[in-house]
Structure 1
Amino acid sequence: MTATVSLSLLTACSQPAEEQTSVVRPVKLFEVVNRQAQNLREFPAIVAASEEASLSFRIPGELLQFPVSSAMIVEEGQLLAKLDDRDIKNEVVALQADFDLAASDFRRIQSLLEKQMVSQSDFDNANTRLKASRVNLQLAKDRLGDTVLTAPFAGRIAQTLVENYQSVQAQQPVMILQDHQTLDISVQVPESILTQVQEDRVDPSYQPVVTFAGNNGTEYKVSYKEHATRVTPGTQSYEVIFSMPAPETFTVYPGMGATLAIDMTRILGNGNPGSEYIVPMTAVLKNNASGQYQVWVYNPDTGTVTPKAVTVGRITQSGITVTSGLEDGAQIVSAGLSRLRIGMEVKPLERERGV
C-alpha cells in the first residue's frame, strides 16, 4: 500500500504545471497627424461664374435671328441675336437724304454770305439745320446698330430667355452669358475666424485647394479674389471669394457645390507648421535615465510597443508640440506609460486622431 501511495505521488509530481498565460494589457492609442493637417479647415463652397451678364437690346423690336442656345460656347464679338431692322434702315435712308440736303443748303448759303447776298441770320439757320440733321442721322445709325446683339466677352450661354421671332421690349433680358474660363469659389466664413485675420500676417503666396464631388478628390489651387465686409443676411458669416481657371478635364458649372480646404496657419499667421505634431500631454514621458522625452509607439503588425525619443516644444491648449521624432500616421500610447515595457504585447482599447 505504501508503494502504491508513493507511485501516485511520484506520478502527480511528474505532471508538467500548466503554463501561466501572459496578460495582454489594453492601451489607449492616439494617431499622430501633422499639425498642418490638424489646422486644415474645410468650408462648403458654391461655384459661380467670375463674370456674368444679362444681355438685352436697347430698343424694342421683333427677333429676326437667334442663332444661339443654352450651353453654347461663344467668342467675343460673335453675333448672338438680331432684330428686324427694315424700318430703321428706311429711317436712316430718309435722314441721310435730309442731312445731304441740309449740307448742300449750308454750303450754298455760306457762299452767298461771303458775297454778302444773304444775312447772318440766314446762315445761322442753315448751320442749325445742318447740325440737327447730323444728330438725327447719327441717332438713327445708333438705333440700327442696336438691332444687333454681340457677345461682350467670350463665354458660355447659361440660359436663353426668349425665342426667335418673338417681340421683345427695350432692356428685356434675352439671354445670360457667363465666363467659362474662370470660376469663382464662394464660401461663408464665420466672424469668429475673420476677426483673427490680420492682413499683414497672411501668407500672400498661399493658395487654398478646392475639391469637387465626383472627381475622385482631385485638388485644384485657388487664389484669393475679394471678400465682403457686409454680413450675409440671416447669418453671422461673410462671403469670401476665390478664383481659379476652369478645369480642362472635368466639367464644372456655376451653382455646383465644392469643398474648400484652408490651412489656417497660413491665413492667421501662426507660422509654418513644418513637421510639428500636437499630441496629448499624457502621451509624452521623460526618461529619468537618459533625460530625454519619449513616446511609446504601437506596432500593429506585432501588437507590441517600443519607446522612441522625441523633441518637444511648447504646450498648447490641445496638447504638447513634438518637433521631431514622429511621423505621420504613427500610433502612440496616450495613457498609462509608466506601466509599459519594451516589446510588451498590448491590445488597442481606443484610437484617437489628432484634432
Structure 2
Amino acid sequence: MLRHALPRAVPVCLVFLLAACGHEEPVQVSISPAIVVQPQPSAVATQSYPGEVRARFDPQLAFRIGGKVTKRWVDEGERVKANQSLAELDPQDVRLQLEATRAQVAAAQANLSLVRSERDRYKTLLERQMVSRSQFDNAENLYRAGEAKLQQLKAEQDVASNQASYAVLRAPQDGVIAQRQVEVGQVVSAGQTVFSLAADGERDVLISLPEQAFGRFKIGLPVSVELWSQPGQRFSGRIRELSPSADPKSRTFAARIAFTAGQVPAELGQSARVFIAQEGVNALSVPLSALSAENGATYVWRVGQGNKLQQVAVRVGPYGQSSVPVLEGLTPADWVVAAGVHVLHDGQEIRPIDRSNRTINTAAKE
C-alpha cells in the first residue's frame, strides 16, 4: 500500500517546492566601479614644455618723477585695488616748484592788467589823435606779450601740479603685487621699476621654446595645457605671443600661451606643462593596462550609452614604457577602461570613476 502511494506524493511535493521558489526576491546585480580615462595625444606625436602661470597683463609700475621714497604701503603678494596708493616720494621739492609757478602766474596776471590799461588808454588817445600809431602799436604788442606770458605760466603751473600728484604711485587696476623693488629711504629715478603688478583677469602660461624647433611654431597654434594642481586634466589653449629674439643665455624663445577653455583654475606662479602636437601626426595614446587581446586582435573596452561596455578593436603603434599609441579605433572624446580589463565582458554596465575615486559623467560634452 505504502509502495503505491509514494510515487504519487513525490510530484505533489515538487509542486509545493516550485511554488515556494516563485516567491523569492529577484537577485540584485551589483554595478562594479571601473577606472576610465580618455585617450591623450601620444608622446610620439606631441612635445611638452614646462611653464609657469602668469598674468596676461603684468605692468611694471614706476614713478614718473625722481625722488626719495618716504612711504611704502604695500608688499609682495598683497592684493590692491585700482587707484590705491602704493608708495610716495618726498613731496617738498615738487610742492615748492608748484608754489613758485603759482607766484609767477599771479605776477603775470598783474602785469597783464597793467598793460591792458595802457593799451586801452593809448587807444583812446589815438582816437583823439593825441599819440602816434606806432605808440599805440607798441602798447598793443606789450598787451599781447603779457597775455601770452600768462598762458605760458598757467601751462607751467598745470605741469607743476601734475608733478606734485606724480609723487604718489597708484595702482592702475586691480591685481596682486608680484614683485617689490623699493625700500623706504631709497632714491629712485623717473621710470625706474618699483613694483610689478599681476593684473586680475586672464592668465597665460609662459614657456621657453628651443632654438632648433622654433621655426615650426606660430601665433595661434592650438596647444593643450596641464596644470600641476590638476593632474591628468588638460585645458585647450593657443600660442598668443612669440618672442622675436632668443634669450642670450639660454638661447630659447619665450612664448605665451592663452587659455581658450573659458574659466580655468590657474593661479599665479603655478607650474604647468604645455603639449604641442607635431604637424601631420594625430596619434592618441592609452595606458598599457587598457589593452587586451583575443585571437590575435587588440582591443579596448569603450564606455557607451548607459555606461555599458563595448569591445572596440584598435590598431596600435610601438609600445612605450607605460602607454601605447592608438593609430585607429578611438577618438579624443571616447572613454576607455584603464584597469581590470581581463574580467570585463561586452554589454556590462559599470560605474565610471577616475583615479581619485570620483564618479565621471562620460556623457557630458568635453
With structure 2 as the length reference, what TM-score do the two structures score? 0.56
Match of 2:167 in 1: 147
1:36 to 30, 41, 49: 41
Deviation readout 1:283-315 (Å, 9 max, x if unpaired): 999x9xxxxxx626699xxxxxxxx9958799x
2:187 is the alignment partner of 1:168: yes
Q: Tell me if structure 1 keeps the 8 A contact 2:299–2:313.
A: no
Q: Match for 1:222: what amino acid? A: G
CA change 1:238–1:104 in 2 (3 A) is same
2:269 is the alignment partner of 1:259: no
How far 1:323 moved relative to its partner?
A: 3.6
Count of aligned residue pairs for this structure pair? 266
CA change 1:219–1:297 in 2 (3 A) is closer
Q: Match for 2:76: what amino acid? A: S
2:152 is the alignment partner of 1:132: yes
Structure 2: gaps spanning 5 or more residues: 1-37, 124-135, 302-310, 318-323, 342-366
Q: Tell me if structure 2 keeps the 8 A contact 1:295–1:309.
A: no
Distance 1:101 1:199 in 2: 60
2:205 to 168, 185, 191: 185
CA change 1:135–1:218 in 2 (3 A) is same
CA change 1:59–1:233 in 2 (3 A) is closer
1:240 to 252, 255, 262: 255
2:224 to 195, 208, 215: 208
Classify the secondary structure of the residue corresponding to 1:159.
strand
Q: Match for 2:49: what amino acid? A: F
Let me know the Cα RMSD of the aligned residues. Answer: 4.6
2:141 is the alignment partner of 1:121: yes
Distance 2:41 2:65 in 1: 58
How far 1:242 moved relative to its partner?
A: 0.3
How far 1:149 moved relative to its partner?
A: 0.8
CA change 1:48–1:64 in 2 (3 A) is same
CA change 1:233–1:284 in 2 (3 A) is farther
Q: Once the two structures are aligned, what percentage of the paired residues are identical?
A: 18
How far 1:151 moved relative to its partner?
A: 0.9
CA change 1:196–1:174 in 2 (3 A) is closer
How far 1:144 moved relative to its partner?
A: 0.8
Classify the secondary structure of the residue corresponding to 1:52.
coil
How far 1:152 moved relative to its partner?
A: 2.0
Distance 1:87 1:298 in 2: 78
Distance 2:259 2:300 in 1: 43
Deviation readout 1:56-94 (Å, 9 max, x if unpaired): 323333434321122111112111112232443344234
How far 1:215 moved relative to its partner?
A: 5.1
How far 1:197 moved relative to its partner?
A: 5.5
CA change 1:124–1:247 in 2 (3 A) is same
Distance 2:67 2:219 in 1: 52
How far 1:122 moved relative to its partner?
A: 2.0
With structure 1 as the length reference, what TM-score do the two structures score? 0.57
Q: Match for 2:189: what amino acid? A: A
Structure 1: gaps spanning 5 or more residues: 1-32, 288-293, 300-307, 333-355
Classify the secondary structure of the residue corresponding to 2:41.
helix
Q: Tell me if structure 1 keeps the 8 A contact 2:219–2:240.
A: no
Match of 2:86 in 1: 80
2:60 is the alignment partner of 1:50: no
Match of 2:237 in 1: 222
Q: Match for 2:241: what amino acid? A: E
Match of 1:100 in 2: 106
Classify the secondary structure of the residue corresponding to 2:42.
helix
Distance 2:146 2:325 in 1: 92
Q: Match for 2:272: what amino acid? A: A
Classify the secondary structure of the residue corresponding to 2:94.
helix
Q: Tell me if structure 2 keeps the 8 A contact 1:210–1:221.
A: no
Deviation readout 1:1-28 (Å, 9 max, x if unpaired): xxxxxxxxxxxxxxxxxxxxxxxxxxxx
Distance 1:79 1:219 in 2: 39
Classify the secondary structure of the residue corresponding to 1:70.
coil
CA change 1:160–1:270 in 2 (3 A) is closer
CA change 1:111–1:242 in 2 (3 A) is same
Distance 2:122 2:187 in 1: 55
